[in-house]
Amino acid sequence: MPTDDALRQAGNDLLDRIQTVMEEVDWGRIVDLARILPMARRTFLAGAGRSGLVARSFGMRLMHAGLPAYIPGETITPATGEGDLLVAISCTGETGLTGYFARRGRELGARVVLITSNAESTLTAHADEVVLIPVKAENIVIRAAVFEHATSLCLDAVFNVLSERLKLDMETYHQRHANLE
């Protein structure tokens, strides 16, 4: 059974790793993403596993900002084409389903932004822009956890900046927030 000290140490280790990654992120690439999002006709967000959860979470934030956002594979997702943006999130940059969405989106004329920890990955060949989240860990479980948390923080920063730029006030935000739950 894990002890309080072991869990506290594991949590602090993750926080330290996330902080280190956040200090090394190329914020210029994040700014580029924030600039192109409002210009996209529609934004599609793709990822698998926990990266997919980060993609879905960011899609929700874009909807809150009043930007049309969709998750590929959902029944209400429209066709993709010229003027659209696909944001693909993959820690390894090798995820099969995410790779398919990136390739297919690009074939259909969408601009593709890949968020990954692997600048040498297969998916970079299918991206118009690459946002590198520079996670360094030999253990894939730790690497993925740090990647997902750091990516989520970066994308929340994008939302915060976009909401100010788009003059999103709390009343408008609340009107767009889910209310059936």
Q: Which residues of 143-169 are buried (b: 16+ CB within 10 A; e: fewer)?
A: bbbbbbbbbbbbbebbbeebbeeeebe
How are beta strands 111-116 and 129-132 bridged, if at all?
A: parallel
Return per-residue pLDDT of the chain as tens, 181 residues.
778 899 999 999 999 999 999 999 999 999 999 999 999 999 999 999 999 999 999 999 999 999 999 999 999 999 999 999 999 999 999 999 999 999 999 999 999 999 999 999 999 999 999 999 999 888 888 999 999 999 999 999 999 888 888 787 788 777 888 878 7
Tell me, what CATH number does 56's domain have?
Answer: 3.40.50.10490
165 lies in some domain: yes
Domain that holds residue 123: 27-176
pLDDT at res. 181: 77
At 100, is the secondary structure helix, strand, or coil? Answer: helix
pLDDT at res. 117: 96
What is the dihedral angle through the alpha carbons of 89, 92, 95, 99, rounded to the nearest 10 degrees? 60
Total domains in the fold of the chain: 1
20 lies in some domain: no
pLDDT at res. 110: 98
12 lies in some domain: no
pLDDT at res. 91: 96
pLDDT at res. 178: 81
13 lies in some domain: no
For residue 12, which amino acid is it?
Answer: N
2 lies in some domain: no
11 lies in some domain: no
148 in catalytic set: yes
104 lies in some domain: yes
Structure tokens at 162: 């976009």
pTM of the model: 0.93
Which of the residues 148, 164, 171, 181 is marked catalytic?
A: 148
49 lies in some domain: yes
